[in-house]
Amino acid sequence: MAENFSVTNEIVDPILANVITVNQDKVVGWIYGEPGAWGFLSGQAVANVRDRADRRLTDQERRLVWSRMWWWLEQVKARMGNQS
């Protein structure tokens, strides 16, 4: 049920991990500062969480999703930097 959906790290992390997995080209673009990469990825994050929630997200929920998506991207970037 949509009314029981809560935007928490535990709920959104698998969704965001999937967004990163299926959009690896945009993730690399984000790492290298490609214009539009962040907008695309943040939009995909919100759209996927919204689909899972089966409702529109509140402003606060969208900000939480964006923040968590940024955190995930920073983790990927750090791991890529450690693979030298």
Confidence of residue 3 (pLDDT cuts 50, 70, 90): low
The residue range of the domain holding 75 is 2-81
Taking the complete model, does pTM exceed 0.75, yes or no?
A: yes
What pLDDT does 82 receive?
65
Angstrom distance (rounded) from CA 20 to CA 17: 5
Domain count within the chain:
1
* Percent of the chain's residues with pLDDT above 90: 81
Taking only the tens place, the pLDDT of each residue in 15-49 is 999 999 999 999 999 999 999 999 999 999 999 99
